[in-house]
Structure 1
Amino acid sequence: MRAILLSETKTAPTLTELPLPAPGPGELSVAIAACGLNFADLLMIEGKYQDTPACPFVMGMELAGTVTAAGPGTTIAPGTRVAVFSGQGGLAEAGVFPEARCTPLPEAMSFEEAAAFQIAYGTSHVALSTRARLAPGETLVVLGAAGGVGLTAVEIGKRMGARVIALARGAEKLAVAQAAGADVLIDSETPDLKAALKAAGGADVVYDALGGAVGEAGFAALKPGGRFLVIGFAAGEPPALKLNHALVKNLEIHGLYWGGYLKLDPKVLTASMATLFGWFAEGGLTPHISARFPLDQTAEALEMLRTRRSTGKVVVLTAPQAATAEGR
């Protein structure tokens, strides 16, 4: 099978040929159709991600495909279409994964949609429902609202009955956030973001996928009793939050590492994903994929993610007959 291998951190991953092992007890062999890219993939290359596997490893944290063989003790049959949150191994034509990481797909969900679904939607749903306890009628501010996770926060926030203020860079990205349901649009390059957010009514919950100065402005715009969600640092650095403001205004600060719930409380992820797949089946969620690349153009796909030129998700089509980048 062809696969994207990271031999050593701080070096470029390479396309290589690897043998495919047979599934062992509790494992499934999957013919991979699509793999969703995440900001964490870039951090893994740099050796900065909290769960970077030991090198060498096949990259790709989430994938979708068809079960081709089942090891002893499994219940998912060959021929079943599945989404897999694997943490690694998705950027390949095939792979072997624990059955516990595999979820059968709703009939209407395509492989591309499934590859773009679990981490982004799962992060936003657990953050907004379990951590921030977002309530109908509250105001949610999403920082980085056109990105892979930010766009799902806009969509889920509206689904949960919130008024959503979206911050993104430029008119094109703001239009994508508006199409996902945002009520108020603010360009993240506005000179005084704190003033702009307060003029828009302030925030009950801030979903911060950016960090840096934008995150600091969002934190400053929280109403008393507000909640601040630390999701990621796409801007390059964590925000310097003023904890004396947290004290005076009775603010809550919640970190959210979705994959960490596999150890912290896996039932939260199971229940969340069941809710999200149900919403999708009802037509209530629409994964936004802005670019698709074949496996041999993974470097270009990662560069699009690195330079923040994408909106929503970037997906790599891993099958040999995958569409060319020109067709994205």
Structure 2
Amino acid sequence: MKAIQIPKYVESFSELQVTDIPAPIPNIQNDEVLVTITHSALNHVDLLYARGLHQNNHVGLVKPSFTLGLEFAGVVASASARSGFNRGDQVWGSSVGGFAEQIAVPASALHRVPSGWTLHDVAGLGAATAPVSYGALVRVARVQAGQTVLVHAAAGGLGVVAVQIAHALGAKVIATVGSQEKAEVVRKLGVAGGVLVVRYDRDGWEKEVLKMTTDGRGVDVVYDTVGLVEKSIRCLRFSGSVVIAGFAGRGGRMETLAMNRVLLKGAKLMGYRYGETGRRDPQENEEVWKGFNEMLETGQIRPVIYKTYLGLESVPGAMDDLAARKVWGKAVVELRSPQTAKL
């Protein structure tokens, strides 16, 4: 089958190539399910995995040779009766190996496509992306109606979902973006009452955020996937929370922080690694998906798709676009039509 295989880490995404590799054989004893992939989606983690810069590379969880790609949607090709899936079921999921024509994964890695949604739609959310925002805001930060939530990189794959989740919870949302184009993306999310948008590529954006809060007291919760903890604390009310879910904006250079700022604000800093949480506590991720699926079924969240790329051959260019921060929402790669996948 065709796949984007990583025999060794790359320096440039132009080095990525479509190659022929053996088709996966599911382990029926472990209730693995074989899925014919129709759509894959790009994730910031893919950029790191390809270059060997992710913590999962460093600890040996993901190492060459492996098939790149973390998010996929498709049609079940084969499954055991115990798996809970049947041939022809439309599913989406998350596992290393998403940039391929087929993938074999444990049944626990798959979710049925919600009613009224297409495979293209769910790929436009990303099974390794959207639940991160739900877990961070609902399970970790415990966002409540009436609170004010600051979402960084609000036009990104994590951000566009976080804005919608926070609004669904009844929170006031302030969103940071890095360009006028991305500001318009956030404003068009269809959130009732709108979203307050701040350009964090401009000096003094923290003061703008404070002005947007009640009596300038600051926000209750910050959702940070960029690496802006120090500046986020300036936006925080006393005893507010910062949920740290990534460092996408730091180019591998970790932030240092004067801890007196944490003390003076009585700030709560909470890290959230969705993948590691699932490995250590599968029940917690089940709760995340239960609540998240309820929001999908009730129409509180919709996909935001930057572009649909065609074929695995388009992956290197799509990766370049993602690395250059051109992408807002999700970049989707279409491999085949759902009708073809059922043949």
What is the TM-score of this pair, normalised by structure 2?
0.88
**TM alignment of 1:201-220, pairs within 5 A:** 201=213, 202-211=218-227, 214-220=228-234
Map 1:59-138 → 2, pairs under 5 A: 59-71=68-80, 73-86=82-95, 88-117=96-125, 118-138=127-147
Alignment counterpart, residue 146 of structure 1, candidates 133, 140, 155 = 155
1:42 paired residue number:
47
The answer for the alignment partner of 1:326 in structure 2 is: none
Q: After TM superposition, give the deviation of residue 5 of structure 1 in Å.
A: 0.8
Q: CA RMSD in A?
A: 1.8
The counterpart of 1:22, out of the listed 20, 25, 31, is 25
Once structures 1 and 2 are overlaid, which stretch shifts more, 170-179 or 134-143?
170-179
The equivalences for 1:240-255 within 5 A come to: 240-255=256-271
Q: Deviations over 1:34-89 (max 9, x none)?
A: 11111000011121112231201111111111111124743311111111211x11
Q: 1:142 to 1:48 in 2, by over 3 A?
A: same
Residue aligned with 1:9, SS: coil
Write the letter of the residue equivalent to 2:41.
G
Q: 1:113-153 CA deviation, whole Å, 9 max, x = no partner?
A: 22233222201110011111111111111111111101111
Change in 2 beyond 3 A, CA 1:176/1:24: same
Query: Post-superposition shift, 1:312?
Result: 0.5
Residue aligned with 1:92, SS: coil
Which of structures 1 and 2 has the larger relative contact order (alpha carbons within 8 angstroms, sep 6+)?
Answer: 2
Match of 2:246 among 232, 236, 240: 232
CA distance in 1, matches of 2:161, 2:200: 18
Counterpart-to-counterpart distance in 1, 2:129 and 2:208:
27
Distance in 2, matches of 1:29 and 1:175, equals 40
Q: CA 1:51/1:107 → structure 2, altered by over 3 Å: closer, same or farther?
A: same
Give the match for residue 316 of structure 2: 299
Q: State whether residues 145 and 167 of structure 1, in contact with CA within 8 Å, keep that contact through their aligned partners in structure 2.
A: yes
Distance 2:98 2:328 in 1: 21
Structure 2 residue runs of 5 or longer lacking an equivalent are none
Change (3 A) 1:169 1:63: same
- Secondary structure class of the residue paired with 2:293: helix
Alpha-carbon contact 2:48-2:54 (below 8 Å) kept: yes
Q: Which secondary structure state, in structure 1, belongs to the residue aligned with residue 164 of structure 2? A: helix
Partners of 1:217 and 1:320 lie apart in 2 by 45
CA distance in 1, matches of 2:118, 2:68: 22
User: Quick check: 1:219–1:241 contact (8 Å CA) kept in 2?
Assistant: no
Return the TM-score normalized by structure 1. 0.92
Percent of pairs with identical residues: 28
Identify the residue that residue 51 of structure 1 maps to in structure 2. Answer: 56
**What's the counterpart of residue 185 of structure 2?**
176
- The answer to whether the 8 Å contact 2:50/2:68 transfers is no
SS of the equivalent of 1:206 reads strand
Task: Give 3-state SS (helix, strand or coil) of 1:51's partner.
Answer: helix
